C-alpha cells in the first residue's frame, strides 16, 4: 500500500480504493469518516470489511444495491454477520434514480435484515429512498416499523 493517500483511479483494486478512503479519513480526523464499500458478491468481501475496520480504521460498511444485489439477499447476510461482530453500522443506498438497476435499492428490502439484526446493527437508509421517483414514503414506513433503520436525508429530493 502507498505511504499516504493519493488519487484513486478506476483500475485500482477495491481493497486499495477502500484503503485510500481510510487514509484520507485518518489525515482529516473529525472531518472525514470512512465506511468500507464492497459488493457482497465479491468472494473476499468479508475479509476486506474486517481488514478495513481492524487495520485501516473504517467505522462502517456501505452497500450499493444498484450494482446488482438485493439488501435482503443471502450474499449480504455474511457481511451483516461480520458487521454485527465488529459492532459497526451498515449504510445502504436506497431509492430510485438514474441508476439502471434501482429496483435493487427499494427501501423495503431493508426490513428483513434489520429485523434479523435488530439488537446488533444500526442500518442507515442512505438518501432515505429519495431521488427520481421518490421512494421516501416507503423508506419512512420501513423506518417507522423497524427501530434499527435510520434515514439519511442527503438528496431526498432533486
Position 24 in a domain: yes
**67-99: pLDDT as tens digits:** 889 999 999 999 999 999 999 999 999 887 655
Q: Is the predicted pLDDT of residue 7 greater than 80, yes or no?
A: no
Q: Which of 110, 60, 45, 69 is nearest to 90 (CA)?
A: 60
CB atoms within 10 A of CB 137: 11
Position 139 in a domain: yes
Q: How far apart are the first and last CA of the chain?
A: 38
Taking the C-alpha atoms of residue 43 and residue 29, their distance in angstroms, rounded to an integer, is 31
Position 122 in a domain: yes
Position 75 in a domain: yes
Edge-to-edge strands of the sheet including 60-63?
A: 35-37, 60-63, 90-93, 123-126, 149-151
**17-62: pLDDT as tens digits:** 999 999 999 999 999 999 999 999 999 999 999 999 999 999 999 9
Beta bridge partners of 149: 123
Taking the C-alpha atoms of residue 13 and residue 121, their distance in angstroms, rounded to an integer, is 27
Alpha-carbon distances of 23 from 30, 52, 106, 141, rounded to whole Å: 13, 11, 32, 37
Q: Residue 114's domain is classified under what CATH number?
A: 3.20.20.140
Taking the C-alpha atoms of residue 34 and residue 19, their distance in angstroms, rounded to an integer, is 9
**95-152: pLDDT as tens digits:** 876 556 678 889 999 999 999 999 999 999 998 877 656 788 899 999 999 999 999 8
pTM for this prediction: 0.87
Position 8 in a domain: no
Amino acid at each position: 500500500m502507498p505511504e499516504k493517500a493519493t488519487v484513486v483511479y478506476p483500475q485500482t483494486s477495491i481493497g486499495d480504493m477502500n484503503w485510500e478512503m481510510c487514509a484520507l479519513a485518518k489525515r482529516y480526523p473529525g472531518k472525514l469518516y470512512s465506511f468500507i464499500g464492497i459488493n457482497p458478491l465479491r468472494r473476499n468481501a468479508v475479509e476486506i470489511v474486517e481488514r478495513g475496520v481492524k487495520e485501516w480504521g473504517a467505522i462502517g460498511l456501505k452497500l450499493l444495491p444498484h450494482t446488482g444485489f438485493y439488501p435482503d439477499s443471502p450474499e449480504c447476510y455474511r457481511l451483516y454477520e461480520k458487521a454485527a461482530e465488529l459492532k459497526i453500522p451498515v449504510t445502504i443506498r436506497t431509492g430510485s434514480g438514474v441508476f439502471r438497476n434501482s429496483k435493487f435499492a427499494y427501501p423495503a428490502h431493508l426490513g428483513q435484515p434489520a429485523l434479523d439484526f435488530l439488537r446488533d446493527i444500526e442500518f442507515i437508509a442512505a438518501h432515505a429512498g429519495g431521488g427520481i421517483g421518490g421512494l421516501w414514503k416507503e423508506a419512512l414506513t420501513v423506518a417507522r416499523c423497524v427501530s434499527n433503520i435510520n434515514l439519511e436525508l442527503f438528496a431526498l429530493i432533486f
